[in-house]
Structures are given as structure tokens and as C-alpha cells.
Amino acid sequence: MTSNPAIDFDALDEKPVDIFFALLVPEEQTEGHLQTLASVAGKLSDKETVKAIRRAATSDDILSALA
């Protein structure tokens, strides 16, 4: 999900936050969710991916940016 305007969450870099992710994971699959979280974090380190997410008009656009 994205937010416009960005929201101040007292982030470590002191920048407001405009991209949010939530993972809903069954209790017995904690290892799988850590791999998913690591994958998303890795993709968010790419500036072009972040720009594509910010430009996204639909959830499908966000999924495409992360693919």
C-alpha cells in the first residue's frame, strides 16, 4: 500500500513513510515469512522498484514492480 502524503513514523532516516507492507502468516510458517520479508526488503533497496511502486495506480501494478 502507498500513502500520499507520506506519514511521519519517526523512522531511523527521519523521512516520512509512504510505502507499507503487511504479511499475514500462519503461525506454523514463520520461516517462510522471513524469506518473503527478506525478498521484499531486497527489492525495496532498488531505487527503480521503489519509483515503480510509487507510480503504481493498482495493486497489480505494485505486484508487477516487485516481480
* Dihedrals phi, psi of 45, to nearest 5 degrees: -80, -10
pLDDT score recorded for residue 23: 84
Kindly tell me the sign of the dihedral angle through the C-alpha atoms of 30, 28, 62, 65. positive
Asked whether the bond before 5 is cis by omega within 30 degrees of 0, the reply is yes
Burial 46-66 (b: 16+ CB within 10 A, else e): eeebeeebeebeeeeebeebe
Q: What is the pLDDT along the chain (67 residues), one digit of tens a residue?
A: 888 899 998 888 889 999 988 888 888 877 778 888 888 899 999 999 999 999 999 989 999 998 8
Residue 45's domain spans which residues? 2-66
**Domain tally, the chain:** 1
